[in-house]
Chains A and B, each alone.
Chain A
């Protein structure tokens, strides 16, 4: 059942230059925020754990660009690219990280991220990894009951893929043909454990076969390939044919959290270099001058967002008891 190779998926990717340029814009926007946060956390510390997504930008940009505005998104914890590409403003996302009242959760944020924007379909992420699966299946059931034209995208890592909630959600979603796309960011690390030490098979996508749904492996550094593979899954879901799993093979460049000494790891230097950099791969498809301009605009956007986020007032004690009840 699973179609396997990155090349197959990439071969299906639309060739339009404008798409490559759009993807480049999103990948460089995410990258600019990653680099800015890396610098900020080093210089100023941080009130929580920042889980960097450096190197995983192509998965987040490619997959989210396969969605429409009204589609629902349960994102994963590594980085903020998912929500950025779905349409949330960078200063709002940074505001959440710093606990500013201009963040999407009104100052209740800070540290590990829980952005939300129901208008844009951004619904959150489980603080308990793997809980997104059942939430996403529930949202997709709503979509089916209401007869809406929406798809639910559920992001997860190779670590969260181990949860039993995947099985419970996947079995029911397959039986009910729910409009779901599971996007696995397989970065090779369950915190300190290499994926190979915790998986009996090479590909998580193989698990889709157990539910009789498509599972594809795609090069997670190639944003066009990720977008194409995800779009195929999204279109299948939209057509009422049920869920699919897209496994994007990517890389974790930084620690589990920024500041993690990663003593358990000897496969990568402690730097910001991204092997098989998604920006470099996309640059082969876009004019250099345009790419340069997008890089500059992204850096400017990130700096401006940081300035706005840092200027946001912190929430007062009154928010502590707000929002428990409707």
Chain B
């Protein structure tokens, strides 16, 4: 029972942060394919409000790295228009929350225009969405809205939890012919990890990562919660209780096969996400677990998520809204006692 090495042995890596891994993915894909370009607010000389696009303006110039005005409907709708006319836009919204300003463009144009037009239009666009709590950003800058992407067919939904996945999944997103909502966690930007240096390092969509092997219970966690679930698992390991921790990495497509195989071995499942618990992605995952593995379950499928409240502005209070490592540990212990 052990933590799984994220990068296969023998692969050349460098130790860099999650934000820098995203930056490398952008640079590599823009070098590879002249059709790839970017736009967003302050992504040019400034390098973005979180510094993710630093240096790209200098390398690729103002035609392919475009600063926009404050106009989310254009950033996303323009991406849709550009995608259907032969380029591959990778656009940045300053906060995932601002995607709601461009709701029509995300949920109607990107999600539906291929379908509506009999498959004659292609929409290879990536919308980068800095998500989650970051310490005092407040109710309109801290949400985890990924379930909304799952609820409208036509959008792929990606949530990298590690620097290596941030690179490999973003490169896959840029090469995917479909629109992708790429939820990068603001609280993970500075987290460092080993990241493959290869230009061809791709993490495929629809393949969950088993972050830790165990036989006591299956914990399915996304984004920031992957790290917290692993910390909770370490605490339980001190008592010889081994949790299996699975990171789906992409919610659309969703690798239920790996999750179900695990639950069939462990008999117990806890789903953890930072998003509001009610109608979150965890509700869907829990429902699918009980549909597919009901007779393997020794206990009900449990969910942990944010409280049904907006995110408070205060950095201390905001942590009370989302699941903590201690809460994950306690939930796992309670689930195991059932």
Contacts and interface: CB of A to CB of B under 8 A. Distances in A.
B119 A137 contact: no
Contacts of B76: 134
B116 interface: yes
B73 A165 contact: yes
User: Which of A108, A118, A123, A326 neighbours the largest number of chain B CB atoms within 10 Å of its CB?
Assistant: A326
A124 B78 contact: no
B118 interface: yes
A104 B120 contact: yes
A100 B232 CA distance: 58
A123 B147 CA distance: 30
Nearest to A127: B108
Interface stretch (B49-57, B85-93, B267-275): B85-93
A169 B118 CA distance: 27
A106 interface: yes
Contacts of B72: 168
Q: Which of A128, A138, A165 has the most CB of B within 10 A?
A: A138
A172 B109 contact: no
Nearest to A143: B85
B77 A131 contact: yes
B115 A131 contact: no
A145 interface: yes
B74 A169 contact: yes
A165 B120 CA distance: 25
Interface in B240-266: none
Interface string B69-87: 1011110111111111111
Contact of A134 (B64, B81, B86, B115): B81
Nearest to B64: A145
Contacts, number: 147
Interface residues of A, number: 44
B87 A134 contact: no
Contacts of A20: none
Contact of B120 (A107, A118, A169): A118
B115 A138 contact: no
Interface in A107-151: 107-108, 114, 116-118, 123-124, 126-128, 131, 133-146
Interface string A285-326: 000000000000000000000000000000000000011111
A164 interface: yes
Contacts of B82: 138-139, 141-142, 145
A128 B81 contact: no
A105 B122 contact: no
A137 B83 CA distance: 12
A171 interface: yes
A9 to B, nearest CB: 28
Contact of B115 (A128, A168, A175, A323): A323
A72 interface: yes
Interface residues of B, number: 45
A144 B108 CA distance: 25
Interface in B92-148: 104-105, 108-109, 113-124
Contacts of A176: 66
A171 B68 CA distance: 10
Contacts of B113: 124
Contact of A326 (B71, B74, B177): B177
Nearest to A119: B120
Given A138-B89, A141-B78, A324 B120 contact: no
A128 B85 contact: no
Nearest to A171: B69
Contacts of B81: 123, 134-142
A139 B120 contact: no
Nearest to A178: B78
B87 A164 contact: no
A134 B82 CA distance: 10
Nearest to A108: B118
Most buried by A among B71, B72, B89, B123: B71
A168 B73 contact: yes
Contacts of B109: 126, 131, 135
A123 B77 contact: no
A123 B123 CA distance: 12
B86 A146 contact: yes
Contacts of A325: 114, 154, 178
Contacts of A126: 104, 108-109
B315 interface: no
Given A135-B77, A135-B80, A128 B104 contact: yes
A324 B118 contact: no
A139 B83 CA distance: 8
Contact of A145 (B63, B79, B153): B63
A136 B73 CA distance: 12
Contact of A138 (B64, B79, B154, B178): B79
Nearest to B108: A128
B37 interface: yes
Contacts of B37: 145
Contacts of A72: 85
A118 B86 CA distance: 11
Contacts of A136: 81
Interface string B161-202: 000000000000000011000000000000000000000000
A-B residue pairs, 10 tightest by C-beta:
A138-B81, A134-B77, A138-B78, A105-B118, A326-B177, A135-B81, A168-B71, A323-B119, A106-B118, A142-B85
27 contacts: A104-B118, A105-B116, A106-B119, A108-B116, A108-B117, A117-B120, A124-B113, A127-B116, A131-B108, A131-B109, A134-B81, A135-B109, A137-B74, A137-B77, A137-B81, A138-B82, A138-B85, A144-B63, A146-B35, A169-B77, A172-B69, A176-B66, A323-B119, A324-B114, A324-B154, A326-B119, A326-B122
